[in-house]
Homo-oligomer: A and B are copies of this chain.
Amino acid sequence: MSTARLETFADGVFAIAATLLILNVDSQVKEGSSAIGHQLVEIWPSYIGYAVSFVTIGIIWSNHHTVMGQLGRVNRTFLMLNIFLLMCVAFLPFPTRLVAENLRDRHELQPAALAYGATMTVMAVCYLSLWLYATRDGRLLRDDSDPRTVTGITRSYLPGAPIYLTATLLALVSPLASVALFGAIALFYVVESSFFGSEAIE
């Protein structure tokens, strides 16, 4: 199987998971329950949840291609790790909805933030495992892969899991701070890309 083949399936899951996020917003507005204008203002947490998770999925998608671009072949173990990663990606709309629906209820926000954070932490672990498995002893690397790029990717992926774990555990003390941190991480990536992202991507 070529790496391109694997990307088609992955791209499909990324695109669908991102697009399904709108259902979370949509289900918040009920016909005839109260004035639409009022409801549209009331559900502002859903917009933020939509934006944060959409951008997060977009970033994971773009990182996925950076990873695939360094690989020259895949094997069945890699395929399985990739399926685990996609399982986390497709799961994300669910905790996103929980956080958005309960942002103003301090009591209910805690389990929601824990669910969101757990999903992101497991996803970061899957990501790192995928990458470390593929690069260990150059196992699946392209013959002409650039060692500096490979090391750079490893270095930038290592902090992912600890950061998300920290943000998740923070929910035990302050769910709101935890959720704010999830948003800040996404914002950081957007800003970083916008200011330092002018190099062409191969």
Contacts and interface: CB of A to CB of B under 8 A. Distances in A.
Interface in A107-123: 107-108, 110-112, 115
A173 interface: no
Contact of A40 (B13, B17, B115): B115
A184 interface: no
A80 B190 contact: yes
Chain multiplicity (copies): 4
Nearest to A93: B22
Interface string A44-65: 0000001100110011011001
Interface in A33-89: 35-37, 40, 50-51, 54-55, 58-59, 61-62, 65-66, 69, 73-80, 83, 86-87
A36 B105 CA distance: 11
Contacts of A22: 17, 20, 90-91, 93-94
A75 B199 contact: yes
Prevailing SS type, chain A contact patch: helix
A110 B55 CA distance: 29
A87 B190 CA distance: 14
